[in-house]
Amino acid sequence: MIAFRQIIQEMAAEKLHLGLTILAIAWATVSIASMLAVGEGLRQGLIRTTSNGNGDLIILTGGFATLDYGNFSKGKQLNLKPDDVDVLRALPSLAQVEPSAVWASSVTFKDNGTWQQPLAVYPQYKELTGLQVTAGGRWFNPLDIKEQRKVIVIGRNAAVSLFNEDDDYDWDNTPDLEASPIGRQVKVGEEKFTVIGILKNNPSNIENGTPIDYAVFVPFTTWQRFHVNPSLGAINIKPAPGADREKAAATARQVIARKYGATTEDMQLVQAQDMLLRQKTMRQFLIALQSFLGIIGLVTLAVAGIGIANVMYATVKRATRDIGIRMAVGAKPGAIKLHYLIQAFITISIGGAIGLTLTYALVQLLQNIPIQGSGFYDYLGQPTPELSFSIVSVVIFALSVIGIAAAWFPANHAAGITPLEALQSE
């Protein structure tokens, strides 16, 4: 019931207006799609940085009492001990519990030192925090633990600052290692350690914000060998899958507080920080950012929509006589309306397709530009714009809504003309 061919012919007769409308729609599509893609890229980057390191852990630490209760008076410190881990491991809501301790000495090689003091950990710590060792080296093994070996694994940037001769160290652009440090001797305090592994670059943090790239690790038992009645730095907890994270954290605090005769009321004395919750807030912020960018794009699209409506009104006005002819030979108002809705649909489809193709090309281009060695860029998780399926869907949905809204009124107007009025126009 629709003269499809004539829709095309009519459009062909309006090439200039049509071209400009298509351009406007294409531009609006590029702006909305690329803004959403940039937002998505940032979001994905953040997910990358936080899904390893301490990203999904609960970090349990001891602090100073702020309440007088039981064994604790105000200002007294609670020090976590290695055997605390055992009581926590008994809890079913916790999947993994790993202690870590800070060896309070600096790591040195010749005149160079590291920024971070060594962390004493068990081999399981690697899997817990997603550490990776570069080829040629290795991570701690059970024998290192058993024999309390003096071996050390070093974060990549820490290794560069220790072993590279070059003095002018650029924080934003870490140079490559000049030679493999595996097998070399470094000092922790006065003790000599052998380097057995260098970590791969990883922009994430561990513990309470130590960058993996700058961290240095020694076997937990080796640290114990050199310290009498030592205290832990933190206990890293991974809740069981499906467990209520908040409850798991509360239970862990409660167990530790009870063990030391303290109160769980004192939030400073036993602290449990859920890194995932922190990350969630960040994700929410990014979703908000993405929505904001999307809204800007949507406004652009709405402006394009007004353009479509205008051009359509003009087209209908110019075609009034033709509308009269169609009606005179039997076109129903609905057919006339459909005629202009289809015309708008075709225009928008072409504009949208061009816009999405351009955006796709743009995104591909940006994804292929190598940006490397920028600290800030790494920190953001090396974000690149991503034209995901959901973004394309959102864009198409927005285009459809705005296109229909823009075409509806001119099409209705066209359908409302009486045949005689239309024939007598001009």
User: Would you say 20 and 311 are in contact if contact means Cβ atoms under 8 Å apart?
Assistant: yes
CB 19, min distance to other proteins, A: 17
Closest Cα to residue 32, out of 417, 387, 422? 387
User: Measured from the CB of residue 412, what is the shortest distance to other proteins in angstroms?
Assistant: 13
Distance CA 372, CA 386 (A): 18
Nearer to other proteins, 179 or 329 (CB): 329
Residue 349 CB, nearest distance to other proteins (Å)? 22
Residue closer to other proteins by CB (options 121, 415) is: 415
Q: How many CA atoms lie within 13 A of 22 on its CB side?
A: 15
Q: For the CB of residue 348, give the shortest distance to other proteins in the complex, in Å.
A: 22
Give the list of residues 6+ apart from residue 31 with CB closer than 8 angstroms, or none. Answer: 296, 297, 300, 301
**Residue 51 phi/psi, 5° resolution?**
-85, 0
- The smaller minimum CB distance to other proteins, of residues 242 and 330, is found at 330
Q: Which is nearer to other proteins, 8 or 267 (CB)?
A: 8
CB of 86 or CB of 426, closer to other proteins: 426
Q: How far apart are CA 188 and CA 192, in angstroms?
A: 6
**How many residues does this entry show for the chain?**
426
User: In 3-state terms, what secondary structure has residue 96?
Assistant: strand
For other proteins, which is the closer residue by CB, 238 or 339?
339
CB of 3 to other proteins, least distance (A): 5
* Residue 152 or 415 with smaller CB distance to other proteins: 415
Distance of CA 242 to the CA centre of its chain: 22
- Choice between 166 and 421, CB closer to other proteins: 421
Residues 6+ apart with CB under 8 A from 397: none
User: Which residues contact residue 411 at a Cβ distance below 8 angstroms, ignoring those fewer than 6 apart?
Assistant: 312, 316, 336, 337, 338, 339, 340, 341, 344
Nearer to other proteins, 286 or 323 (CB): 323
* DSSP-assigned states of every residue in 241-265: TTS-HHHHHHHHHHHHHHHTT--TT
Q: In whole angstroms, how close is the CB of 338 to other proteins at the nearest point?
A: 11
Q: Which residues contact 92 (CB under 8 A, 6 or more apart)?
A: 240
Contact set with other proteins (CB under 8 A): 1-3, 5-6, 9-10, 12-13, 321-322, 324-335, 418-420, 423
Least separation in angstroms between residue 388's CB and other proteins is: 41
Residue closer to other proteins (CB basis): 250 or 423: 423
* Smallest distance from other proteins to CB 313, Å: 20
How far apart are CB 331 and other proteins at their closest, in Å?
5
C-alpha pair distances (Å), 23 with each of 303, 317, 355, 407: 13, 22, 9, 17
Question: By the 8 A CB rule, do 218 and 152 touch?
Answer: yes
Lateral strand order in the sheet of 234-239: 112-113, 107-109, 185-188, 191-198, 151-154, 216-219, 119-121, 94-102, 234-239, 58-62, 270-274
Kindly state the smallest distance separating residue 403's Cβ from other proteins, in Å.
24
Nearer to other proteins, 5 or 171 (CB): 5
Residue 224 and residue 74 in contact, taking contact as beta carbons nearer than 8 Å: no
Q: How far is the CB of 347 from other proteins (least distance, A)?
A: 17
